[in-house]
Amino acid sequence: ERGAFTGAIAAKKGLFEEAHGGSLFLDEVAEMAPGLQAKLLRVLQDGELRRVGATRTLRVDTRVIAATNHDLAAEAREGAFRQDLYYRLNVFPIFLAPLRERAEDLPLLVDHFLQRFAREGGGPPKRFSAEALRAMVVYPWPGNVRELEHAMERAVLLGEGEMIGPGDLPPEILEPQDELTLPLPNPTVGFKETMARVTRDAEVKLIRRALAQAGNNRTQAARLLGISRRALLYKLNEYSLRRS
């Protein structure tokens, strides 16, 4: 409200008011301060809020979508996140697998970010060298899509000409991973097709190596690969490796 604090020269709607009748996306909800968690819980439970400096409450009807990469259930049990707020938010949970379990998405995401940053920078479309492709395929992407996005932005900015080489990628992507012998991309084939083929070959080699190391124990192999057992079974079926 106007005059609620220094610099408040006019009344202004908050996010919940702006999203009234629609949806409000709250990213990284686990980072929310305890005091703010309590305020959010009150709005979710009562459907009411009060502007800073106001004396009356306002009714709001807003669907809240919250996202986090934390284990909120564990943090709620440990007291690091309000348990009552966790249960209030956990009405319809959607779990997204990490990027390392969705290698088939990598070509599409890379192509999307390449096109986007090239367009924003006003430069020509770019493509990756064989060495850069290898590095990206075997890298586990612990920061998921956000890390990939920043890596692609850096590559487009640093890449000279139309070819992006390993030196244009963040240093951590170039750190030694599991060595693979992958076929060189065919320059006459489109980027998406090339990336998909390289990704598939890398996945097959890694899965076979993990299964061999685990004595064909799929649970242990999934653990070695850093993916869920369900994801491994899906890949085995996708690549017809169940009997190999």
Q: Is the domain of 69 the same as that of 120? A: no
Q: What's the predicted TM-score (pTM) here?
A: 0.59
Report pLDDT for 32. 94
Residue 28, sorted as left (phi over 0), alpha (psi -120 to 50) or beta, turns out to be left
**Strand bridging mode 48-49 / 58-59:** antiparallel
CA–CA gap between residue 226 and residue 148 (Å, rounded): 18
Q: Is the domain of 145 the same as that of 38? A: no
Q: Is the domain of 103 the same as that of 148? A: yes
Mean pLDDT is lowest, of 34-48, 55-69, 190-204, for 190-204
Closest by CA position to 181, among listed 233, 122, 138, 226 = 138
Residue 221: CATH number of its domain: 1.10.8.60
Could you tell me what percent of the chain has a pLDDT over 90?
37
Range of the domain at 194: 99-238
Q: Is the domain of 45 the same as that of 144? A: no
Report pLDDT for 6. 52
Q: Is the domain of 153 the same as that of 213? A: yes
Residue-wise pLDDT tens digits, 157-195: 888 888 899 999 999 998 876 544 444 444 444 566 666
Question: Is pLDDT above 50 for 102?
Answer: yes
Report pLDDT for 203. 81
In whole angstroms, how large is the CA radius of gyration of the chain? Answer: 24
Report pLDDT for 138. 84
Report pLDDT for 183. 45
Q: Is the domain of 142 the same as that of 225? A: yes
Number of domains within the chain: 2
